[in-house]
Chain A
Amino acid sequence: MTRMAATRDGYGQALLDLADNPKVVVLEADLGKSTKSLHFRKAHPERTVSCGIGEQNMLLVGAGLASSGYIPFASTFAIFTERAFEQMRNGVARPNLAVHLCGSHGGTHTGTDGSSAQSIEDLAVFRTLPNVTVLHPCDDVSTRILTTRLAQMNSPSYMRTARNKTPVLYDDVDPDSIQIGKGIELKDGNDVAIIACGVLVSESLKAAEMLMEEGINASVIDMHTLKPLDGALVDQMVKRCGALVTAEDHNVIGGLGSAVAEHLVANTFAPLEMVGVPDRFGESGQADEMLDVMKLSAKYIAEAAKKAISRK
Chain B
Amino acid sequence: MSKSINELEEIARKCRVEIVKMVHRAQAGHPGGSLSEIDLIAALYATRMRVRPDQPDWDDRDRFILSKGHASPGMYAVLAEMGFISHEDLKSYRVLGGVCQGHVDMKWCPGVDFSAGSLGMGLSFGMGCATAARLDDSDRRAFVMIGDGEMQEGSVWEAAMAAAHHELGNLKVILDRNRIQNDDFCEEQMRMFDIPAKWKAFGWNVKEIDGHDMTQVMEGLDFLEAPENCKGPSILIAHTIKGAGISYMENNPSFHGAAPNDEQFHQAMVELGEVEA
A contact set with B: CB distance below 8 Å: 25, 46-47, 49-52, 54, 56-70, 72, 86-87, 90-91, 94-96
Contacts and interface: CB of A to CB of B under 8 A. Distances in A.
A64 B158 contact: no
A49 to B, nearest CB: 6
Contact of A90 (B117, B126, B154, B159): B117
A64 B121 contact: no
A49 B166 contact: yes
A52 B165 contact: yes
A46 to B, nearest CB: 8
A67 B128 contact: yes
The 9 closest A-B pairs by CB, nearest first: A64-B128, A68-B132, A60-B124, A54-B158, A57-B158, A56-B155, A61-B128, A64-B129, A64-B125
Nearest to B127: A61
B155 A57 contact: yes
B156 to A, nearest CB: 9
Contacts of B84: none
A91 B125 contact: yes
A71 to B, nearest CB: 11
A67 B136 CA distance: 13
B126 A47 contact: no
A28 to B, nearest CB: 11
A70 B121 contact: no
A54 B127 CA distance: 13
B186 interface: no
Contact of B118 (A69, A72, A90, A96): A90
B268 interface: no
Contacts of B135: 25, 46-47, 70
B114 interface: yes
Given A52-B158, A56-B155, A91-B121, A68 B129 contact: yes
Question: Helix, strand, loop or mixed for chain B's interface?
Answer: helix
Given A90-B115, A91-B115, A95-B115, A64 B126 contact: yes
**Which size class do B's interface residues fall under?**
20 to 34
10 contacts: A51-B162, A54-B159, A57-B127, A60-B121, A60-B125, A61-B162, A68-B129, A69-B59, A87-B155, A95-B115
Contacts of A52: 158, 161-162, 165
A69 B128 contact: no
Contacts of B115: 90-91, 94-95
Contacts of A50: 162, 165
Contact of B121 (A54, A66, A68, A87): A87
Nearest to A94: B115
B161 A54 contact: yes
Contacts of B113: 67
Nearest to A90: B118
Nearest to B112: A95
Interface in B152-202: 154-155, 158-159, 161-162, 165-166
A95 B107 contact: yes
B158 A90 contact: no
Contacts of A68: 59, 128-129, 132-133, 136
B107 A96 contact: yes
Nearest to A52: B162
Contact of A61 (B120, B131, B133, B161): B131
A115 B59 CA distance: 45
Contact of B127 (A46, A47, A64): A64
A186 to B, nearest CB: 39
Nearest to B128: A64
Contacts of A58: 124
B45 to A, nearest CB: 19
Q: Which of A56, A62, A66, A70 has the most chain B CB atoms closer than 10 A to its own CB?
A: A56
B106 interface: yes
Interface centre among B113, B129, B154 (most CB of A within 10 A): B129
A65 B132 contact: yes
A49 B161 CA distance: 13
A44 B223 CA distance: 34
B150 to A, nearest CB: 14
Given A87-B121, A91-B115, A57 B132 contact: no
Given A52-B162, A90-B121, 5 more contacts: A52-B165, A61-B131, A64-B130, A68-B59, A95-B105
Interface in B186-237: none
A280 B231 CA distance: 50
Contacts of B120: 56
Nearest to A66: B128
Contact of B132 (A46, A59, A69, A96): A69
Contacts of B136: 68
Contacts of B118: 86, 90-91
Contacts of A66: 128
Contact of A64 (B105, B131, B155, B161): B131
Contacts of B121: 60, 87, 90-91
